[in-house]
Amino acid sequence: TAANTTAEQTVTVAGLKIGDRVIVNKPTAQAGIGVAGVRVSAADTLAITFVNSTGSGVTSTALESWLGTVFKSALPTPTNASI
């Protein structure tokens, strides 16, 4: 991730649906890298927004297995709405 920026990455997670809520945890600490947000961006697709709070580029640790918890929505698929 470039210095002082955010970047969103998507990964396939079978069974995710719009409206599900997800919590993820990076298994190791890494200076400058944080998770700014997590969302289900489409069916079977998890989007994670990373933040780099340092003044230089940072590369996330490779080949880590992240931990996640999915809270399945009991409601029908939501439509676009203003809050």
pLDDT above 90 for 78: no
Provide CB contacts within 8 A for 23, sequence distance 6+. Answer: 38, 68, 69, 71
Instruction: Concatenate the DSSP letters of all residues of 34-54 into one string.
Output: EEEEEEEEETTEEEEEEEE-S
Whole-number Å distance between alpha carbons of 66 and 83: 31
- Is residue 12 very low, low, confident or very high in pLDDT (cuts 50, 70, 90)? very high
pLDDT tens for 32-41 read 888 999 999 9
**pLDDT at residue 11 in the model:** 93
What is the pLDDT, as a whole number, of residue 55? 86
| Cα 72 to Cα 74: distance, rounded to the nearest angstrom | 6
CB atoms within 10 A of CB 26: 16
Lowest mean pLDDT among 16-20, 54-58, 76-80: 76-80
